[in-house]
Structure 1
Amino acid sequence: MKWLGALLILFASVWLGAEQSKKLSDRPKQIRFIRSALQTLEAEIVYGLTPLHESARKLSERLPPPVSELFALFSELLTSTELDASEAWKRSLAKVWPRTALMESERAILLEFGETVGKHDRLTEQKQILVTLKHLERQEEEACEKQKKYGKMMRSLSLMGGLLIVLLLF
């Protein structure tokens, strides 16, 4: 019975470390997907003259979750409610946020982007998207550094922590 308990503790600690490491590796990927989506959005708004809700819907079909969910919900709120683009973006972000691996700094950048989306002419929209892309690029670099620095350490520490707990119990 003790061995079963020890195995369960080890399994749980390794699983916890793997989950934390996965979050660290998912963050740069999700930032990259958002950057790619914003670049596509810029092209569709500026050059394709596509309405915002239609661009967001198209993006949601091409992206993996949870980023696709953000744009799908944004498109749905734009078409099915009386909300302006800024409020629809805020609500979409708030609903999808718990399922992302992003940090508060990315949330602030995306909320700032949401304040300006759909309110200006094409040239100003393009400038705002480019500013957002620059901010997200810096965040992606930081996320990659953190992932390299702490990803393996999280898995190792969780295994060592589990072993320590098992040893202390025996």
Structure 2
Amino acid sequence: MFIVKFLGGLLILFSTSLIGFTYGNRYSNRLNNLIYMEQCIKILETEIVYGAVPLPDALLNVYKKGNKNVSFIFKEIREHMLKNKVEDIYYSFYSIKHILKNNLSFKQQDIEIILSLGRVLGTSNREDQEKNFKLILNQIIILEKEAKLDRDKNEKMFKNLGILIGLAIVIILI
């Protein structure tokens, strides 16, 4: 009977710890993905503003050159744009909204900034495009600082909380 209780306690402790680590890692993932998104947007800016590359090709180049943890969304945007023959690139950006939230751990404000890139992309001349890119990159840098603070504050807490809740449940059941 002791072995069953011991194994049950280990199982409970393992599962609550895993839940805590999963929630804690979301904060690290968000920060890392914001950094990768910033790099991808800089690549996109270079392609469009300085290279004068057509948008579908620029999106494909971002996919190839960027970190694959994030750059895959630019391939998704490109495929949506070409498949649906969308004139307004915003709808292609909007189509990846669920990926940004679920796969990249982005908050709503992060998603709104990326969608705002879709609103302004290709709607003006190069100088205005460059200003829009600078504005969006500055907003992402601010979000990175906020994400770092959130990570520092919450990641360790969730990891420890998962372990402590597991220990509390095991103690109560024994």
Partner of 2:25: 22
Partner of 1:3: 6
Alignment partner of 1:114 is 2:118: yes
Tell me how far apart the structure 2 counterparts of residues 24 and 33 of structure 1 sit (CA, whole Å): 14
Tell me how far apart the structure 1 counterparts of residues 31 and 19 of structure 2 sit (CA, whole Å): 20
Alignment of 1:114-153 (within 5 A): 114-153=118-157
Aligned with 2:71: secondary structure? helix
Identity of counterpart residues, as a percentage? Answer: 25
Report the residue type matching 2:121 in the other structure: V
Tell me how far apart the structure 2 counterparts of residues 63 and 47 of structure 1 sit (CA, whole Å): 17
Partner of 1:69: 72
Unaligned runs of 5+ in 2: none
Tell me how far apart the structure 1 counterparts of residues 57 and 104 of structure 2 sit (CA, whole Å): 23
Report the residue type matching 1:93 in the other structure: K
Q: CA RMSD in A?
A: 1.4
Alignment of 1:16-95 (within 5 A): 16-84=19-87, 85-95=89-99
Structure 2-normalised TM-score? Answer: 0.91
Unaligned runs of 5+ in 1: none
Aligned with 1:7: secondary structure? helix
Would you say the 8 A contact 1:60–1:69 is kept in 2?
yes
Partner of 1:154: 158
Per-residue CA shift, 1:81-111, capped at 9, x if unaligned? 2112111111133445321111111011111
Tell me how far apart the structure 1 counterparts of residues 160 and 39 of structure 2 sit (CA, whole Å): 33
Structure 1-normalised TM-score? Answer: 0.93
